[in-house]
Structure 1
Amino acid sequence: MSSHFGNPLNEQRLLLEGKAYVERQDEVVLELTGPTTLAWLHSMTSQNLINLKPGDSAESLVLSPTGHIEHQLKVIATDVGALVITAAAHSEALVSWLSSMRFRHKIEIKVLDKRVFGCFKELDGRCWIDRFGFDPVGSVRYAAEAKLFGYREYVLDAAPTDLQPAGMLAYEALRIAAGRPEISDIDERTLPHELDWLATGVHLSKGCYRGQETVSKVHNLGHPPRRLIQLNLEVGDTLAAKGESVYHRDREVGKILAGGLHFEDGSIALALVSRVTPFGDLTVANLSASQTVVVPPDAGKVANLPRPSAFKLSGKK
């Protein structure tokens, strides 16, 4: 996987201008075929997929029974089922799980010998449209505003000949600037609420699916225990490393999820910190970093109801 082709900052500009592509060698394409494919995926994952028409696309998540993120699915509806773009590192586990969940459904699953190319331009071919910069449909965004992010991914046999190649460093910096989470950001405890992933990955009005109870409880009655922030490091050419600790004064409050050098904003990063982390500057690798809130501390608890434990402690019914 190419990190850059000589000048990652210029590659960012070319990507945004629709003059370049990034090959997503970190992703694979699954083909799911069968008359009940979309209904089957709809029943197991977090997004409303059942009404997609051929050519439509959506993002969905596979959650654990306790609501933690396991897989990201970029779904493109087809005439015979769906294409699913997913992380190569998790694909074997995903195929195994999907295969085990077929039961009486006549669903065929195979890995296609296709390539995935991301860009900010409309091309010919089967396309997944990233709606992270759009207003949520059937869900909610915790961030105060959506940042423009007109990203798309195409399933093709070969690279677009009319565009220049860009590396993953360019894409990473652009998605960090937009506050866009990726599956590479998760750990075993990550809830979609913490990364503001409800906005595109979860439909809050759909029927039962694995992990739905946690999604509903955190959003309606509680708060995400951690929250996503953006950081801007004071030294503009120092890259924050994934897994690096984030401090408030001398107390560790979180970890870096991804770092990048942006052609306008300098050294930027996404970090996941404790919900109660104070506003204001933080420290990464002994460098001061200004904090921009993505998921606010008061995210969630939208239902004006006491928690079940409050009933128990007070003795009220």
Structure 2
Amino acid sequence: MPSPLLSKPGAVATESGAVAAHYGEPLPEQRRAAEGAALVDRSDRDVVAVPGPDRLSWLHSLLSQHLERLPDGAGTEALVLSPQGHVEHHVVVAELAGTTWLDTEPGAGADLAGWLDRMRFMLRVEPALVTDAWALLTLVGPRGDDVLTAAGLPVPVETYEVRAADAGWVRRMPAVGDGVPAVDLLVPRAELARWADALLAGGAVLAGVDALAALAVEAHRPRVGADSDHRTIPNETPWLQTAVHLEKGCYRGQETVARVHNLGRPPRRLVLVHLDGMSEQLPAPGTPVTSGTREVGRLGTVVRHHELGVVGLALVKSATLEKGGDLRAGETVVVVDPDDLVVTTDDTVLAARERVRAVRSATIGR
């Protein structure tokens, strides 16, 4: 359903037509988010509500995270894995006043809610897709707390802390970009415009989802589907740290996660890559990454970043990252960020840094 914020001046919709990709100034919107306070309409995300006295122990048995003793006013991240350990869903969790809220990727909610419903058995839980009634906003930037205060809203302090706000809630999220603070707000969909206006009156400016995507790429925060494929396991991504509890009891896919963790070498790794940016059309998620004639990975989200140029996330074979070398995605030169290389020599890192400089120079010189 199209957001009412698409009526704001300059709004250019995403391909789905649900929210704004930007409001006419894609790169300045990123900078405002990184330096001030930007309000991003993410009302296209799906929301699943799980009330019921058995909800936490039940979710604990199904998801990758330790949820059994999640306190009221707390949140976390979790994954739904296949029996083989492949990532099927990523959810961000909020526990508040007798309901566990799960927000997930746009379009994924019906499948997630359907699977949860099939797993209820005789337990006292009532999972339901509630996207029609609830919408997500994200406030990004170092001045975000000032905006919340000016709007009369609570300011959560600790990461994943959840605070009630009118009928909805505010949740502190991990930083994006280079340490840029972020909070999520769950609001009644019928009052989305009112909440947005209150935050804009408090000092925020509008930014599209493209601005948040660029800062998320910089922070190595993947999205299911764009930055993962049917073979992705948590060990290949930062989800192993944010959405998996390695010491909890049995859950679907745990054997794969534990085995690869104990071996210490996943088959691929999610890395930040720099692209030459010579084409106006950015490569699509899923574009193969090649080394010579061999396919060694896949591109995920690719963005034009206001400081880094054209960058993206990519799943690349660990063996390739250890050896280094020239990579391409079609005719596009791809260079792994030196900080993400798995190497044993300083020379390899230095060579990667020189390639990054060359790629950026080519892009800036256009």
Q: How many aligned residue pairs are there? A: 286
- Following TM superposition, by how much is the alpha carbon of 1:51 offset from its aligned partner in structure 2, in angstroms? 2.2
- The residue type paired with residue 201 of structure 1 is A
Residue 197 to residue 230, structure 1, CA distance change in 2 (3 Å): same
Aligned 8 A contact 1:173 1:262 in 2: yes
Percent of aligned pairs sharing the same letter: 37
Amino acid at match of 1:183: V
Shift of 1:218: 0.5
Structure 2 CA distance for partners of 1:9 and 1:237, relative to 1, 3 Å: farther
2:229 aligned residue: 187
SS at match of 2:85: coil
Tell whether 2:226 aligns with 1:175.
no
Cα distance in structure 2, aligned partners of 1:30 and 1:249: 45
Could you tell me which of 291, 301, 310 is aligned with 1:248? 291
Aligned-pair CA distance for 1:250: 3.4
Provide Cα deviations, 1:52-83, integer angstroms capped at 9, x if missing partner: 22221100001111111111111100111211
1:1-317 aligned within 5 A: 1-112=19-130, 113-120=133-140, 121-122=144-145, 123=148, 124=153, 125=165, 126-131=169-174, 148-157=179-188, 158=192, 159-161=195-197, 162=200, 163-184=204-225, 185-221=227-263, 223-235=265-277, 238=280, 239-277=282-320, 278-292=323-337
For structure 2, the residue ranges without an aligned partner over 5 or more in a row are 1-18, 154-164, 344-366
Deviation at 1:233, TM superposition (A): 1.6
Q: CA deviation at 1:22?
A: 1.3
What is the identity, as a one-letter code, of the residue corresponding to 1:216? A
Q: How many Å separate the matches in 2 of 1:174 and 1:13?
A: 10
Q: Against the structure 1 CA distance between its residues 23 and 83, is the aligned structure 2 distance closer, same or farther, given a 3 Å change threshold?
A: same
Task: Could you tell me which runs of 5 or more consecutive residues in structure 1 were left unpaired when the two chains were aligned.
Answer: 134-145, 299-317
CA contact (8 A) 1:115 1:155 kept: yes
1:191 positional shift: 0.3
Whose RCO is larger (CA < 8 A, sep 6+)?
1
Contact 2:273–2:314 under 8 Å retained in 1: yes
In the superposition, the TM-score normalised over structure 1's length comes to 0.83
Cα distance in 2 between the residues matched to 1:18 and 1:30? 31
Structure 2 counterpart of 1:288, which letter? V
Asked if structure 2 preserves the Cα contact closer than 8 Å seen for 1:38 and 1:50, the reply is yes
Q: Which residue of 2 aligns with 1:140?
A: none
Work out whether residues 44 and 135 of structure 2, in 8 Å CA contact, stay in contact via their aligned partners in 1. no
Answer 1 or 2: which has greater helix percent: 2
Q: Deviations over 1:78-129 (max 9, x none)?
A: 1112111112321111111111111221111223311101122344331343
Deviates more, 1:1-10 or 1:281-290: 281-290
Q: Residues 295 and 33 of structure 1: is their aligned pair in 2 closer, same or farther, counting only changes over 3 Å? A: farther
SS of aligned partner of 1:241: coil
RMSD of aligned C-alpha atoms?
Answer: 2.2
Paired residue type of 1:105: L
Shifted more, 202-211 versus 80-89: the winner is: 80-89
| Aligned amino acid, residue 116 of structure 1 | L
Amino acid at match of 2:212: Y
Q: TM-score, normalised by structure 2?
A: 0.72
3-state DSSP of counterpart to 1:15: helix
